[in-house]
Structure formats: structure tokens, C-alpha cells
Amino acid sequence: MPKTPTDGPAQPRLFAANLFDGFGPSRFRPANEPVVGRKFRSKQPSRLKKQVRTHAPRTPGVYGMIDERGRLVYIGKAKNLRARLLSYFRENSRDPKAGKIIRHTRVLVWEQIGDELAALLRELELIQTLRPKFNVLGVPGHQRHHYICVGKSPAPYVFVTNKPTGKELGVYGPLVIRHKSEDAARRLNDWFKLRDCPQTVPLSFSDQPELFSQDHAAKCLRFELGSCRGPCAGACSRNEYGVGVRSAKGFLEGRDRSILAKLKRLMDDAAAGFEFEKATALRDRLQALEWLDARLSLLRQARTKNSFVYPLEGHDGRERWYMIHRGQVRAVCFTPTTDTERSAASALIASTFSGGVASPILIGGAVDSVLLVVAWFRKNKGEDAKLMTNHAANEKCVIASV
């Protein structure tokens, strides 16, 4: 069975095709919680089904499917392991992917988890670490993480990229649904009159001295339409162009959201004046920027404000403290009931909630971890009433020990 978990993140495998030798450690399991799980081997799905029906518990957990070459090909999570695993053997109701996975399966392995949140976290941890074939293949490109950035001198503008370089003036995200991000970036450039032309286009500001007089003609229609300040035509100074850059950053950072109110007012005025085509165009622009604003607001809150201790009772009746710092679950322990446990919990709180300023960019597994926590509290309304600050949780440890 899996190796005994220890506190701390799982280490990545050297090769994706390594033979499966256990799920490994997890930072989402209390240090003193034993691993409970099973492994069954058979070439015949009917025998695997019989083992699931006989032995699989009706508890949350994660499961793995291993092929004939001993490679882990799929990881899943379940609120009820028995029900979820049996669904793979129902030929008339399972989806095509489930049928394909079970045809490749020669070994079934599962690990029981304390509660549904822990199962979600453990599944994500294992997928990121082990990268099973059927979990990572075929992920649509529009769902991959990307960022909206402001940068690219000498006339910065808003653009979308998968990999910020660190030289940008601002990086915002991560986001998914790339076509929506690109639409929002285009509309921001139009509104704040920023260029979006290739870096190869020569630029010249009106306050930039020149040795020789040159004819600077606009390279696209945006200048003629009034949606670009025209740095390619020398039509603006650096300071005039910088006003638009600073305004775009103000919106993306949530400091100035007045653009949304202005667009709403213009849309209403156009509709009231029976200019329905104009009103429709303004509505589309407003919806694109409202979508972006909502997602960036959510991520800002997760990174800067979502720091707390979340008590959650598991299927076994034991309560666990999830220590969530800057939107990510950093550590888990059982709710302390003895002086020894309270002392250990207090030390864990101190180490979890220490640290400097949050990084403006989420990378790697941090992206999915933050989004998972946000989705959990969206789905489970009222759970936020249980939350404790790290100071309140620490006081419980100290007061009870006195």
C-alpha cells in the first residue's frame, strides 16, 4: 500500500512513466492519521468489480487505476468510494472515458480520506505529482492557465500570455477561457487608447527629439477611429500615453473600476436614444470587462485576504483544522483536545501563517489550489461561518492549556 504520509509536499517523480509504487505522502492529512486503503489485481473487470462491491467503503477517498505495465493511468476522487468505483462497471450508464479507463485497468487501488475537501485536495496533489495519462491528456487549450499583462516598452499595452517574463509592468491572473481574456484585453486597449501592434512597428512620441525629420503615418485604422493614441504616428507624448497605461493598471488592480459605471451609463443612454446597435456594442464591451473584473477580484481576495483556520468534521466524526493561508490549504491537523495536541497545533499555526508579502503571480500547483478552495466555499454555502482567524485558533490552544 501507499507509503506512510509525512507532513510536507509530495516530491515530483523523475519520469512520468515510473511504475506505480504507492500514492506517497500528503500534506493534506494530519501527521498522526494512519493511511487506510486497499489494492486489488485482476485482468478481468468482473473480478475487480466483485472486490469493489465487497471491500470498498462508503467514505470519501481517492482511487487509482493501474495498467498492465504497472503504470498509474488515472486518479479520481469520490465522496463515496464504493458508489463511484462501481459506476465504472456499469456499461449502459458510464461515459465513454470511464469505459476506456477500466479497459486499461489491471489493478485498482484506493486510499480513504477524512472528508470530501481532503479528497479534493489529495486528488489535485496526486495529479500534479504523478500526472497520470488519462488525467492530463486532452485538456482543452482554452482551459490552460494564462495571464493578462501590461508591458512591452516603449509603449506598454494590455496583452495575454501563458508565461510572464517578470519584466512586465503588471501581471494579473491566472485565468482560463483564453478567448474571453483576449477579448477583454482588446477592449481595454481600445478604451484606454493603447497600441496593440507588433513590436516590430517603429514608435515615435511627439516629445522625442529626432535627428532627421520623418513622415510618421499611422500603421492601422485604430488611430483614425480614435481607439489608439498613435505612438506609431508621433501623435502623443510619453506622458499622454502613460496616462492610459496607468489607468489600465488601475482597473486591473481593482483601484479604479469607474470604467464599468461609465460603460453602463453610455449603454443606458444609447438605449434610451433608440441607438440599439450602439447599445449592443457597449453591452458586449461591458460584459467582457465585468467578466474580467469579477475573476481578478476573486483572485485578489484569495491571495491577500483568504487566511484563516477552517474546522471541518469528517465522516469518522473527528474534526480537522484546515489552515488556509493566502487562498491555499497549507497544513491540516486534528482539532486539538489534549495539551500535547494544542502545543503542536499552536506551533503549526505559527509556521503556517508566517511569511512576507504575497507573490503577485500564482504559479504551478498554487493556481489550482487557490481555485479549489474558492470553489469549495462557493459550493458549500454557510461554511464560512465556521472560519476562525489564526489568532483566534491559537488563543483556543493557549487558553485551554492554561
Question: What pLDDT is stored for residue 213 in this prediction?
Answer: 55
CA dihedral 260, 181, 330, 114 (to 10 degrees): 100
Q: Is the model's pLDDT at 358 over the cut of 60? A: no
Candidates 133, 115, 163; CA nearest to 64 is 133
Question: What pLDDT is stored for residue 138 in this prediction?
Answer: 52
Angstrom CA distances, 357 to 146, 165, 360, 363, stand at 22, 20, 9, 16
Residue 12: pLDDT band with limits 50, 70, 90: very low
Residue type, 314: G
How does pLDDT run across 64-111, given as a tens digit for each residue?
999 999 999 999 999 999 999 999 999 888 888 889 999 999 999 999
Q: Is the model's pLDDT at 7 over the cut of 50? A: no
Question: What pLDDT is stored for residue 347 in this prediction?
Answer: 94
Residue 220: pLDDT band with limits 50, 70, 90: confident
Residue 211: pLDDT band with limits 50, 70, 90: very low
When mean pLDDT is compared across 43-57, 107-121, 126-140, 230-244, the lowest value belongs to 126-140
φ/ψ (deg, to 5) at 257: -105, 20
The domain spans of the chain are 37-138, 143-303, 305-401
Q: What is the CATH number of domain 37-138?
A: 3.40.1440.10
Question: What pLDDT is stored for residue 361 in this prediction?
Answer: 59
Question: What pLDDT is stored for residue 206 in this prediction?
Answer: 81
How does pLDDT run across 260-302, given as a tens digit for each residue?
999 999 999 999 999 999 999 999 999 999 999 998 988 887 7
Residue 180: pLDDT band with limits 50, 70, 90: very high
Q: Is the model's pLDDT at 227 over the cut of 60? A: yes
Angstrom CA distances, 72 to 56, 66, 196, 294, stand at 19, 4, 45, 38
Q: Which three cell numbers stand for residue 397?
A: 490552544
| Mean pLDDT calculated for residue range 162-173 | 90
| Mean model confidence pLDDT for the chain | 86
How does pLDDT run across 110-166, given as a tens digit for each residue?
999 999 999 999 999 998 888 898 887 655 444 578 899 999 989 999 999 988 888
Q: Is the model's pLDDT at 30 over the cut of 70? A: yes
Question: What pLDDT is stored for residue 357 in this prediction?
Answer: 59
Question: What pLDDT is stored for residue 6 in this prediction?
Answer: 36
In angstroms, the CA 290 to CA 107 distance is 48
Candidates 161, 118, 126, 166; CA nearest to 373 is 118
Q: Within 201-275, where are the H helices?
A: 221-225, 238-252, 258-272
Q: Is the model's pLDDT at 214 over the cut of 80? A: no
Q: Is the model's pLDDT at 5 over the cut of 50? A: no
Q: Is the model's pLDDT at 14 over the cut of 70? A: no
Q: Is 11 exposed, middle or buried (0-12, 13-18, 19+ CB in 10 A)?
A: exposed
In the block, residue with C-alpha cell 496607468: 246
Candidates 33, 25, 20; CA nearest to 8 is 25
How does pLDDT run across 317-339, given as a tens digit for each residue?
999 999 999 888 999 999 999 99
Q: Is the model's pLDDT at 356 over the cut of 80? A: no
Better pLDDT: 300 or 313: 313
Question: What pLDDT is stored for residue 222 in this prediction?
Answer: 87
Question: What pLDDT is stored for residue 370 in this prediction?
Answer: 82
Model confidence pTM above 0.75: no
